[in-house]
Structure 1
Amino acid sequence: MPPLLHLDQYPHTWTVQLLSGPPLIAPSRQYTYPMSIAGEEDALARGALYLLVRPAPGEPAFLATCALGYRDPSMPTGVYATPNPSQLCAVAGGYAYLIDPTNPTQSTHIDQRPVTAVLPTQDLLLFAGFHTIQAWGNAGLAWTTQRLTWDGITLGEATNGVLHGTGWNMRTDKEVPFEIDLKTGTHTGGGF
């Protein structure tokens, strides 16, 4: 699946252009993500998501090279606006990077790995993994759920401050519904 832009949920101060590869003439400012993480020295060998990011109108753009977490096409890849208008989220093959376009050396490689689904809600950007969900808000990490499932989360709708979804229960071999309070990250139900 080609990378997608998901920019309508939250206001933002930056613009981004998806590139099919590194540009022939690159801008003078270039940043590679993840930045110096043990065990990720060869991350770019799996491929990358290339972004031309402009922090604000009239400001010079920079190249963001975001290493793929996995080559599996089922892992999400795209760019998301976040609840923080001066931050963008690049998801590359299941790795999620929160980047400050005005200071690209300030980035967070979120520890939900892999990210299997991304869901914007009113005040939070949710990152589902195989067992848990992390929520990031305007001020950073808001919460991480307890384990919801033995393996695999399906996100449903977020209504009235509650996220609905399902998770697999190994003992019954069935999908079991759960509900998460979006303010606290506490849940009821689930397959674990």
Structure 2
Amino acid sequence: MSLGHDDFKRDWKVEILRQPPLIAPARQFTWPLHIAGEEDALARGALRLLVRPASGGVFLATCALGFTDPAMPTAVYGSPNPGEICAVAGGYAYIAEVSTPERCMQIPMKPVAEVVPLPEHGLLLFVGFHTIAAWGKDGVAWTSGKLSWEGLKLTSISGDKLHGLGWNMLTDRDVPFELDLRTGEHSGGGFSK
């Protein structure tokens, strides 16, 4: 587990705990909120966070692991909104306003294979196996179309263009794509019908 590296301004501090605290704060939250089919999510393990908002009380967030595979990211990130925290636990990504952590949102992409902070674009990117979703200051900014049959590799950013490779099942080759970071529209990529 590591703390994600980004340059987003934060109105909070966080400590990643290896085990539950001996004395837990009064406010405690479990993410995800009740979701059908996720009843046993905590049995896989959890990322525990002691969050200290700039104002308001400290709280403990217990974030259920999506997957136990160590290749799936587990980290904490800032957000384009300084009052939001993004916790990624085994490929499940959670975003919550630290002033109202009881209203946590789970990013629908399962799993999130990579998180890419882009403070200069005001975006936090969630990269899956087929698509990319962007989180902006006001929530979901866009979700790309399918870029790959299975697996994405981001290669570079030039201006407002993200470049990468998406695998094409029919040719068994990685095909370059270009994605507009302002809109999520893309050209190229390995997914073809």
Shift >6 Å, 4+ stretches: none
Aligned to 1:115: 112
Aligned to 1:16: 14
Aligned to 1:153: 152
Alignment of 1:1-192 (within 5 A): 3-56=1-54, 59-121=56-118, 122=120, 123-192=122-191
1:158 to partner: Cα distance: 2.4
Say if 2:162 and 2:178, in contact at 8 Å, map to a contact too. Answer: yes
Structure 2 CA distance for aligned equivalents of residues 43 and 152 of structure 1:
24
1:157 to partner: Cα distance: 2.4
CA gap 1:16/1:7 in 2 versus in 1, 3 angstroms: farther
Structure 1 CA distance for aligned equivalents of residues 171 and 6 of structure 2:
39
Say if 2:6 and 2:117, in contact at 8 Å, map to a contact too. Answer: no
Structure 1 CA distance for aligned equivalents of residues 47 and 37 of structure 2:
19
CA gap 1:9/1:156 in 2 versus in 1, 3 angstroms: farther
Aligned AA (2:124)? L
Say if 2:29 and 2:62, in contact at 8 Å, map to a contact too. Answer: yes
Task: Name the SS for the 1:105 alignment partner.
Answer: helix
Q: Please, what TM-score do these two structures have when normalized by structure 2?
A: 0.95
- Sequence identity percentage: 58
1:7 to partner: Cα distance: 4.9
Q: Please, what TM-score do these two structures have when normalized by structure 1?
A: 0.95
Aligned AA (1:8)? D
Q: 5+ unaligned residues in a row in structure 2: which ranges?
A: none
Structure 2 CA distance for aligned equivalents of residues 8 and 149 of structure 1:
27
